[in-house]
Amino acid sequence: MALLAPRGGPPAPALIVDQWLNASEPLELERLRGKVVLLHAFQMLCPGCIAHGLPQAEHAHRAFGREGVVVIGLHTVFEHHAVTGPEALRAFNHEYRWSFPIGIDRASQGSSIPQTMRAYDLQGTPSLVLIDRAGAIRLQHLGRIDDMVLGGAIGRLLAEGGAAATPAAGGAGATASDAGCGPDACLPRP
């Protein structure tokens, strides 16, 4: 079962995004207060993202969108930069027909790790972050997370209402002894 961090911590960092797909205007976490946010960090060439992460985000968007949950995709590229740019992402999004908003994480100067990925200390893709109605991180998970477990965590956050801010929860569901892509997650090279 996904363990939610207790309430009362600092707010989630702002999203540092260059472009948005499936959104009429840029999304800002500050303006989403009062809603539960599911942030799904992915790469379009990550097997685990394509096999389960992105479909799960789409299912959550369709199932919980009317219940006060905002699903946001974050295309956070730390490898294969030359073939995973905005035009490739637009084609990918068109072919898979993802309907939730997708932000393109801003590249970092001198590092392969993009800025939002770095701000959230994400360890790879797919990564899932649940942000409560007060704007604080309650769950951060790397790799596959069971649909029922995710649904339960979302339900618990919805049941809390607009309570006080909550702390960031680190930790990862997937680990690897070296970088690269496996069936459940992709890890950056050091």
Where are the chain's structural domains? 17-187
pLDDT digits (tens, 9 = 90+) for 37-69: 999 999 999 999 999 999 999 999 999 999 999
Mean pLDDT, rounded, for 155-169: 63
What pTM, to 2 d.p., does this model score?
0.85
Place of tokens 């892509």: 181
- Give the model's confidence band at 185: pLDDT under 50 very low, under 70 low, under 90 confident, else very high: confident
Q: Tell me how far apart the alpha carbons of residues 10 and 19 are, in angstroms, rounded to a whole number.
A: 26
pLDDT digits (tens, 9 = 90+) for 102-139: 999 999 999 999 999 999 999 999 999 999 999 999 99
* Domain 17-187 fold: Glutaredoxin (3.40.30)
Place of tokens 């961090």: 5
Q: Tell me how far apart the alpha carbons of residues 91 and 61 are, in angstroms, rounded to a whole number.
A: 20
Residue 168, pLDDT > 70, answer: no
The pLDDT score that the predictor gives to residue 8 is: 80
* Structural tokens at position 24: 């009429």
